[in-house]
Amino acid sequence: MAIAFVQRAKHVLKIMWRGIDMTNYRPYRDIQRRKSRQIMVGDVAVGGDAPISVQTMTNTPTSDAAATLDQINRAAEAGADLVRVSCPDEDSTAALKTIVRESPVPIIADIHFHYRRALEAAKAGAACLRINPGNIGSSDRVAEVIKAARDHGCSMRIGVNGGSLERNLLEKYGEPCPDALVESALYHASLLQDKDFHDFKISVKASDVFLAVAAYHGLADAIDCPLHIGITEAGGLRAGTVKSSIGLGNLLWSGIGDTIRVSLSADPVEEVKVGFEMLKSLGLRHRGVTVISCPSCSRQQFDVISSVREIEDRLAHINEPITVSIIGCVVNGPGEARMTDIGLTGGGKDTHQIYLSGMADHRLQNGDLVDHVVALVEDRAEAIQRARDDQPKMTNPK
C-alpha cells in the first residue's frame, strides 16, 4: 500500500507541475488563460503563466500591527498568497513597516486619494500600491508616486469600482456601465504608461455580476496587463459566495483573471477558502483536500453529513492536493471513488468499502469511519511530501 501511495503521489506532483497541460487528456476541462504580461508583487508573480493568486484584505485597524498581523497570519495559513491592508492615515503607514517585516506574504497597501500615504507605504516596504493615479491630483504627484514605487520595488493596482466612477464618465454614460468602467481603467493606466511605468494590474469591480463580467471582458480585450478580478461588495458568506462564484467562475472559465479576491462580509479567512475552492473547482489551482460527497438520502449507510463536516474540519491543515469521495451508498459510491484518491462508500450491514487510488482496497465497520479516512488522507499527504523531497528542483506547486 505504501508503494502505491508514493507512486500515486509522484503522479499527482507530475500533474501539478505540468500546470494547465494536465487537462489535455480531458479536453473538455481545458481553460485557455488570457495571455497577460507578468508583474511581481513582492516575490509573487502575477500574470503570464503564474498560478492565479488568491488574496484577501484585513479589516483590523492597520495602526494595530499586532491585530493586523494576526489576521494576515490566519489568512496566509488558509492559503492567501497576498494580503491587502488599507492605509487611510499616517498611523497606518507607520505600522506598515512592522507588518511588512513580519508578514509571511507580500503586503499590498490600499490608498485612496492621499498620495503621501502612497509614498509612505512604498517606503515602508509595501509590495504593491492599490491606487488610482487619476485620483491623487497633479501630474507631479503621479510622478512622485511612480518614483517611490520604482525606488522601492513596488508594483501598483488600478482599482476601478462601479460605485465610485468619475463624474465625467457618469455624465457621459448616464450610469455605471461596462464601457464606463473600461474607459476609467484605461485613463488611469494611461497616466502610468505616459511615464513609462508598466508594473501594474487592473481591476474593474462592480457589485452587479453582469456589469463586472462585461467590464472585465472589455478590459481583457483592451489591454495586456494582469487583471485582478473580484465582485465587489458581494454580500455575506453564503450569498456572497454564490454571487462571486457566478461572476468569477464565468471569468475564470473564460481564461480571464490573474489574481482573485472574493469580497465577503465575513472573516478574511473565509474569502481565501472560497477563492481557493473556486480555483480548485476549475482545475486552476490544486491545494488541500477536495471532498466529493453526496447529499445523502434514506439509502445512506452511515451519516454522510456529519461525517463530511468532521472530515473537512480535521483535514483543513492539509495543503497537499488530495481528492476524497464520501458517498452514502453503492448507487454512486464506486463510480465517484474511481475518480478520487481515497474513497469511502457506504455498504450494508454496517460494513463500508474503502477505495485507494480508485481501486477497492479494504472494508471497515461503523464506528471509526472518520478516524480511518483522516488517517488515510494524512498518510497520503506525507507520501506526497516525501515525493516532493525526492525532487528538490521542483518549485512550490501550491
Site for ligand SF4, rule CB under 6 A: 294-297, 299-300, 327-329, 331-332
Q: Could you tell me the smallest distance in angstroms from the CB atom of residue 368 to ligand SF4? A: 20
Q: Could you tell me the smallest distance in angstroms from the CB atom of residue 54 to ligand SF4? A: 31
Q: Judged by CB, which is closer to ligand SF4: 161, or 345?
A: 345
Q: Judged by CB, which is closer to ligand SF4: 294, or 322?
A: 294
Q: Judged by CB, which is closer to ligand SF4: 295, or 392?
A: 295
Q: Could you tell me the smallest distance in angstroms from the CB atom of residue 328 to ligand SF4? A: 3
Q: Could you tell me the smallest distance in angstroms from the CB atom of residue 359 to ligand SF4? A: 19
Q: Judged by CB, which is closer to ligand SF4: 135, or 300?
A: 300
Q: Could you tell me the smallest distance in angstroms from the CB atom of residue 5 to ligand SF4? A: 26
Q: Judged by CB, which is closer to ligand SF4: 155, or 345?
A: 345
Q: Judged by CB, which is closer to ligand SF4: 297, or 394?
A: 297
Q: Could you tell me the smallest distance in angstroms from the CB atom of residue 298 to ligand SF4? A: 7
* Integer Cα distance of 30 and 63 in angstroms: 44
Q: Judged by CB, which is closer to ligand SF4: 103, or 293?
A: 293
Q: Could you tell me the smallest distance in angstroms from the CB atom of residue 339 to ligand SF4? A: 14
- Other beta carbons within 10 Å of 317: 11
